């Protein structure tokens, strides 16, 4: 790494730290790698940027310091084994959601092992992250996805093009009537932030993610209740559903399913930081 690159990273990291960015050094390096058309790991071998690249980098650091999401600046984000196009108008998938996607992949593979193509539905697909991961990792799966927000649906269409995933534009509350009773696996990352928690939401999410993907009633569980009802209709006997929730909903979110008296094996799962992150349940046979 040249001294010029080192100095740029140090100055940018200081700027982002002062702006309250959670990972200033990481983001400074990612943006410089983006400008230099290399990877963060290859910055050690990179030559210093030219004047045009320095100007572009300075502009990106300014935008990131204003708390514009890193992924909006680079236009892409990694999710499990795929890269996704993201930007204004679509919820940026978080690393925590990879755990839910991994669970859905495992469940679909279990169905595949019986010699039958699994039927999988991704409700509230957003960018298409979960649906694309399942299609990528379980090639024989018949994957369906739905998104209500028009702009987000456009991003999903871009990310799911050529994958074989059937994408629909609509509300999860009444989606896929034609699949009723035939679905093996449902995955959903619904909105789950209580309206009263507005001020506690990170600036990147509050000001740049679509509010339709964030907020869900006074207790944050309105969408979870809709999911419970819809999953009961779509799943076949013994089918499974998994849904992400806020870390403070480790009891209340599973209770939506245990209280419905038609689910078994209702469990909550922790993320890598030990926080409650997603629930799973099986429709009673």
* pLDDT for the residue 43: 82
Whether 93 and 21 map to the same domain: the answer is no
DSSP tag of 190: -
The model's pLDDT over 57-75, given as tens digits with 9 standing for 90+, comes to 999 999 999 999 999 999 9
Q: Is residue 145 packed enough to be buried (19+ CB in 10 Å), middle (13-18) or exposed (0-12)?
A: buried
Annotated binding residues for substrate, written as ranges, equal: 189-192
Annotated binding residues for S-adenosyl-L-methionine, written as ranges, equal: 147, 189
Judge whether 73 lies within some domain. Answer: no
What's the CA dihedral at 77, 82, 88, 92 to 10 degrees?
A: -70
Whether 53 and 94 map to the same domain: the answer is no
Angle at 209 between CA 253 and CA 144, to 5 degrees: 65
Whether 159 and 121 map to the same domain: the answer is yes
Average pLDDT over residues 120-131: 97
pLDDT over 60 (residue 123):
yes
Which candidate, 93, 109, 23, 6, places its Cα nearest to that of 64?
23
Structure tokens at 225: 């209740």
pLDDT over 90 (residue 170):
yes
**Residue 18 lies in domain:** 3-66
Average pLDDT over residues 109-124: 97
Whether 136 and 213 map to the same domain: the answer is yes
Annotated binding residues, written as ranges, equal: 147, 189-192
The model's pLDDT over 233-247, given as tens digits with 9 standing for 90+, comes to 999 999 999 999 988
Mean pLDDT of the chain: 91
Whether 117 and 47 map to the same domain: the answer is no
């Amino acid at each position: 790494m040249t001294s010029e690159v080192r100095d740029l990273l140090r100055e940018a990291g200081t700027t982002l730290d002062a702006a309250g960015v959670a990972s200033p050094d990481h983001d400074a390096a990612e943006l410089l790698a983006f400008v230099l058309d290399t990877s963060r790991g290859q910055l050690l071998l990179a030559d210093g940027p030219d004047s045009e690249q320095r100007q572009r980098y300075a502009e990106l650091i300014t935008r990131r310091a204003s708390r514009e999401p890193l992924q909006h600046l680079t236009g892409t984000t990694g999710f499990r084994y795929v890269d996704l196009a993201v930007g204004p108008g679509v919820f940026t998938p978080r690393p925590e959601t990879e755990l839910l996607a991994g669970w859905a992949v495992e469940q679909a593979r279990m169905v595949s092992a019986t010699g039958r193509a699994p039927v999988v539905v991704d409700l509230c697909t957003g960018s298409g992250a979960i649906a694309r991961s399942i299609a990528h990792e379980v090639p024989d799966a018949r994957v369906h996805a739905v998104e209500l927000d028009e702009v987000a649906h456009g991003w999903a269409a871009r990310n799911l093009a050529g994958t074989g995933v059937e994408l629909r534009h609509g509300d999860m509350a009444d989606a896929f009537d034609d699949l009723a009773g035939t679905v093996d696996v449902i995955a959903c990352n619904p909105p789950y932030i209580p309206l009263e928690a507005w001020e506690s939401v990170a600036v990147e999410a509050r000001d740049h993610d679509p509010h339709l993907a964030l907020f869900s009633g006074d207790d944050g569980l309105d969408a979870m209740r809709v999911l419970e009802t819809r999953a009961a209709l779509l799943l076949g006997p013994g089918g499974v559903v998994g849904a992400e929730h806020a870390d403070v909903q480790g009891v209340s979110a599973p209770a939506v399913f245990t209280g419905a008296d038609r689910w078994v094996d209702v469990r909550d799962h922790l993320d890598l930081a030990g926080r409650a992150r997603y629930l799973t349940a099986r429709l009673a046979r």
